[in-house]
């Protein structure tokens, strides 16, 4: 049984290096999520750049959101880990050299969730949200391709940030609890989406975080996330 009142660090004692790094990760996470909510939403771009917002059937506001996700969730945390903390990126899950059985596990996870994706795509609350780039139905093929590439790239950044930088990175201090801590902001970034998806993000955050910690890799999570997102978009566009 977990003993909540024992084996805890002295709350008034000095922080060692690992604890300071963990505190900095959490502080950066708060800043990054705040910037995504207030600066990098498509609505911000449309308010401040109304002329550019109309180009290519409203493509640029969505690329603005994807750009914010990619920059805040990937290169900046990488720079923090590599040059701020002096760690290797592979120490934060940035590697694909994982056992074959792990890839089989991720493949099974993707197959298990795909029926739910097909069901969700038939629901009106999901069709009201997907595809994010609503003009994809009438936009030029080049604009749709640019959006899909940016959209899928931000999932790589997302996995590195939540599963690598936070779930693996904070495990030096928090152990497996880091998965649960990283799950909270991951769930919160789904608040603008349908309720079932936000609730499913809790489970996904725990499962993907746990496997990332155990394998020390985010590779499988990237494949699962991109597979689910691409399937949902293709279904929403009537291409599947």
pLDDT in tens, 34-71: 999 999 999 999 999 999 898 899 999 999 999 999 99
Candidate from 7-21, 27-41, 65-79, 102-116 with smallest mean pLDDT: 7-21
102 vs 13 pLDDT, higher one: 102
Distances (CA, A) of 98 to 89, 164, 224: 15, 14, 15
93: which 2 tokens? Answer: 């899950």
The CA-to-CA distance between both ends of the chain, in Å, stands at: 48
Cβ atoms of residues 54 and 209 within 8 Å = no
Contacts of 149 (CB under 8 A, 6+ apart): none
pLDDT in tens, 196-238: 999 999 999 999 999 999 999 999 899 999 999 999 988 988 8
pLDDT in tens, 141-181: 999 999 999 999 999 999 999 999 999 999 999 999 999 99
- Please give the pLDDT value at position 181: 98
Residue 49: count other Cβ atoms within 10 Å of its Cβ.
14
* Cα–Cα dist 152/169, whole Å: 23
* Cα–Cα dist 236/240, whole Å: 8
Tell me which residue of 171, 166, 213, 170 sits closest to 186, measured CA to CA.
166
Residue 7: exposure state from Cβ atoms within 10 A (0-12, 13-18, ≥19): exposed
* Cα–Cα dist 226/153, whole Å: 9
Distances (CA, A) of 222 to 13, 192, 201: 38, 22, 15
Domain range summary for the chain, segments of one domain joined by + = 17-236
Once rounded to an integer, what is the mean pLDDT over residues 113-140? 90
Residue 98 has φ and ψ, to the nearest 5°, of -120, 155
């Amino acid at each position: 049984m977990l003993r909540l009142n024992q084996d805890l660090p002295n709350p008034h004692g000095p922080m060692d290096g690992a604890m300071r790094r963990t505190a900095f990760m959490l502080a950066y996470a708060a800043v990054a999520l705040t910037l995504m909510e207030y600066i990098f939403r498509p609505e911000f771009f449309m308010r401040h750049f109304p002329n550019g917002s109309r180009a290519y059937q409203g493509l640029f506001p969505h690329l603005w959101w994807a750009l914010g996700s990619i920059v805040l969730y990937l290169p900046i945390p990488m720079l923090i880990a590599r040059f701020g903390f002096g760690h290797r990126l592979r120490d934060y899950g940035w590697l694909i050299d994982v056992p074959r059985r792990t890839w089989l596990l991720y493949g099974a996870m993707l197959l298990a969730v795909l029926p739910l994706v097909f069901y969700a795509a038939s629901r009106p609350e999901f069709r009201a949200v997907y595809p994010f780039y609503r003009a994809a139905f009438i936009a030029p093929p080049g604009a749709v391709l640019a959006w899909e590439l940016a959209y899928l790239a931000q999932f790589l950044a997302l996995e590195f940030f939540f599963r690598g930088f936070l779930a693996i990175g904070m495990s030096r201090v928090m152990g497996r609890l880091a998965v649960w801590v990283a799950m909270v902001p991951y769930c919160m970034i789904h608040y603008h989406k349908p309720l079932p998806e936000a609730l499913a993000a809790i489970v996904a955050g725990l499962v993907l975080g746990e496997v990332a910690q155990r394998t020390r890799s985010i590779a499988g999570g990237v494949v699962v996330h991109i597979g689910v997102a691409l399937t949902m978009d293709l279904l929403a566009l009537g291409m599947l």
